Amino acid sequence: MKVVTTIKDMQELILKQKSQGKSIGFVPTMGFLHEGHLTLLNRARKENDIVVLSIFVNPLQFGPKEDYAEYPRDFERDRALAESEKVDFLFYPSVEEMYPTSPSVKVTVQERTDVLCGSSRPGHFDGVATVITKFFNIIMPTRAYFGKKDAQQVAVIEGLISDFNIPVNLVAVDIVRENDGLAKSSRNVNLLPTERKEATVLYQSLQAANAAIDKGERDPIKIIDMICEVIGNESSGVIDYVQIYSYPQLKPLEKLEGTIIIALAVKFTKVRLIDNIITKID
């Protein structure tokens, strides 16, 4: 595995691989790797000749009061994990390398951002779309792998690829969970011990919602109320949002039908956790 820190080196290496007809699988991450990331890497390894992992905590996608400074980082551990997943190139640029000057062009996401994390994290998806556009131009991937844990991100990137005609195939991978159901996240280490126990209620509330839908409930308000009640009763976390939309369009629904996303965000002392389920209603 080669660790690459400059854009120029990365592009040269990729162009060389592409000139030999190799397919490139790309997994963008912010590091502090866990099984969710490793599942993406594993899938990329199976489907491509070359696997590129990027590790970059992108300042552009954090708000001024968010956890950019506290975001967990451990490059040596990540490097060893990447090596064991048979990554070919680990792209690990500095902030100065990615953003040497203040940008003269910005990517602004117009749709699918007025809901869910877009409304509670203004500018977040512009930051994501900007860094992903840069990565697509640097890595030139055949396939790019994203987790459904960040389902809104998947929807936004789908829009980016389609609107800008980017020649890449997006592969969306199912959420990987801890044994007790908590969605794996780099941020879970910043939960207090009591909060870690309580956090299992996030997925439990989504499962309860799914069960109610299976039994025939079609009123989104009733489902949302049910989730809020379960979380409110069983955790000290403060609900940021619980919302239901069509997926991937992210349009409001008066009645549950088609493919929907039930998504939530809950704030704990030092971290804000997100989770969702995407389900198809016949």
Q: Where along the sequence are the contacts to ligand AMP (CB under 6 A)?
A: 29-30, 36-37, 39-40, 146-147, 149-150, 173, 175-176, 183-186
Instruction: Return the residue nearest ligand AMP (CB atom).
Output: 147
Walk across the sheet containing 272-281 and list its strands: 238-246, 258-267, 272-281
Burial category of 96 from C-beta neighbours within 10 Å (exposed 0-12, middle 13-18, buried 19 and up): exposed
The residue (of 14 and 53) whose beta carbon lies closer to ligand AMP is 53
Q: How far is the CB of 29 from ligand AMP (least distance, A)?
A: 4
CA distance 148 to 204: 18
Q: How many C-beta atoms lie closer than 10 Å to residue 35's C-beta? A: 13
The residue (of 133 and 228) whose beta carbon lies closer to ligand AMP is 133
- Whole-Å CA distances, 208 to 169, 203, 213, 219, 241: 34, 9, 9, 14, 17
Q: Which residue is associated with the tokens 């996240």?
A: 185
The residue (of 113 and 185) whose beta carbon lies closer to ligand AMP is 185
Q: How far is the CB of 210 from ligand AMP (least distance, A)?
A: 18
Q: How far is the CB of 32 from ligand AMP (least distance, A)?
A: 7
The residue (of 134 and 149) whose beta carbon lies closer to ligand AMP is 149
Catalytic residue among 28, 37, 50, 141: 37
Q: How far is the CB of 117 from ligand AMP (least distance, A)?
A: 12
| CB distance 113 to 156 below 8 Å | yes
37 is catalytic: yes
- Just list the catalytic residues: 37
